[in-house]
Every structure is written in C-alpha cells, then in structure tokens.
Amino acid sequence: MIAPTEPSRGKIIKASIIALLAALVILVTLVLPAEYGVDPLGTGKALGLTAIADPQVGLPAPSAGVGMEYVPTAQGAAAAYAGAFKTETTSFTLGPYEWLEYKYQLEKGAGMVFSWTADAAVTHDFHGEPDEKGTAEVISFDKRRLQASNGSLVAPFTGIHGWYWENTTGQPVTVKLSSAGFYSGGLELRSDRSRKTHELTAVQVGNP
C-alpha cells in the first residue's frame, strides 16, 4: 500500500493565506456593515446590510401637550408658533470609517435653518423620517459628498429631520453644527449603536 502524500509546507501556507483573505473579505463586506454599520467599501449599503446595524428609531414620545407649541399656524406666507424657537451649536468627532446621524423632531410645516462644516469631506445625506407608519421610511433632501452646507428646511411631514455623516477617511473628522428652529428635541445615533437625546432650550426674550 502506498502511503498518502502529506501536503507540502508551501501548500499549507498558501491554503492558510487564502482562508485568511476570504475571512477578511467576509468581515469587511458583510460582518462590519451588518453588525457595526462600518461600510468602507459601500457593499453593506448596496446589499441593505447597514439597515440591520442602524434600526430606525425616533425621539421618545412627548407627554401630552408637549411639543404642541411647535405646531405652526399658517398666516398667509408666514407661520406663528406658541413657543419660542430653539438654537443649538454642537460638534461631533467621527473616527475612521465611523458614521453618525443627528436629527431634530419637527412638526409638519415647522421650519429650521442650519450651517455645518467638517474637517474633511464626508459622505452626507440630509433626510427625514416620517412618524406616520406605512409611509416611506427615509426621504432624502440632499445626498452627496460635502465638507460644509448651509440651508433651511420647512418640514414636509411630522417626524425627525437631519443628517447622516460618514467618515470614509483614515483620520478622525470633526463635524460642527449650528441650527435654529421650531424643533422639540434632538437625537444622536452612532455606528457603535449608541443613542443619545439632546435637550434643547428655547430662546428666552426679556421684557422691554
């Protein structure tokens, strides 16, 4: 009987390298987008895997009566509100290949203005998500690669409206945001699945 030939050392090393490369491909294209929302190659978004790591969640439901001061009352070309507008200036640091979403709760017809800038160009999607179930989950208003943006929004529906920023570089990027509007709260979502609400204070106007 002829003894089976043992694989050579070179073949073992070659097979190990191929297996390692295959594991790395699966990690980058499937595991990271689905589990952590990290999508350096864009394959996770193309396959719909980033949605698994980024469940759509909104701001906590307000107690009765809260938020009604931010429902606009149309007066011709203008709109009136029962409450004063709010302002916020904040910043976010994104590590390499990290993403962040930051959104404000706006009633239909409520307005806001904003300016943001980043250390480097980032993947950017300015969008909204309706509170009403059964409608489109995400509606994009501006989706492109940018380093800064200035604008305004009149909410087309009641829901959360804001930005998705993704750092596709190998260096940390800081995004700075300033806004003012008739919103009732802010929500921060990160690629590590952390979630934080921002308590915003209305502008106080003194008596004359």
CATH number at residue 149: 2.60.120.680
Identify whether residues 110 and 159 lie together within a single domain: yes
Note whether residue 138 is domain-resident. yes
Identify whether residues 100 and 165 lie together within a single domain: yes
Note whether residue 207 is domain-resident. no
Picking from 153, 147, 88, 109, the residue whose alpha carbon sits closest to that of residue 127 is: 153
Maximum pairwise Cα distance, the chain: 107
Give pLDDT, residue 163. Answer: 97
Note whether residue 2 is domain-resident. no
* The pLDDT of residue 84 is above 50: yes
Identify whether residues 33 and 120 lie together within a single domain: no
The sign of the dihedral angle between the CA atoms of 102, 72, 148, 136 is positive
Give pLDDT, residue 63. Answer: 39
pTM of this structure: 0.68
Identify whether residues 121 and 92 lie together within a single domain: yes
135 or 188: which leads in pLDDT: 188
72 or 45: which leads in pLDDT: 72
The sign of the dihedral angle between the CA atoms of 100, 106, 108, 111 is negative
Identify whether residues 63 and 135 lie together within a single domain: yes
Identify whether residues 20 and 105 lie together within a single domain: no
Give pLDDT, residue 52. Answer: 47
Identify whether residues 117 and 24 lie together within a single domain: no
Q: What is the rounded CA–CA span in Å between residue 47 and residue 52?
A: 11
Q: What is the rounded CA–CA span in Å between residue 199 and residue 105?
A: 12
Structure tokens at 91: 């910043």
Identify whether residues 93 and 31 lie together within a single domain: no
5 or 157: which leads in pLDDT: 157
Number of domains the chain is built from: 2
Phi and psi based region of residue 93 (left: phi greater than 0; alpha: psi -120 to 50; beta: remaining): beta
Identify whether residues 62 and 132 lie together within a single domain: yes
Range of the domain at 37: 9-47
* The pLDDT of residue 204 is above 60: yes
pLDDT digits (tens, 9 = 90+) for 86-129: 999 999 999 999 999 999 999 999 999 999 999 999 999 999 99
pLDDT digits (tens, 9 = 90+) for 13-42: 777 777 667 666 666 666 566 555 667 666
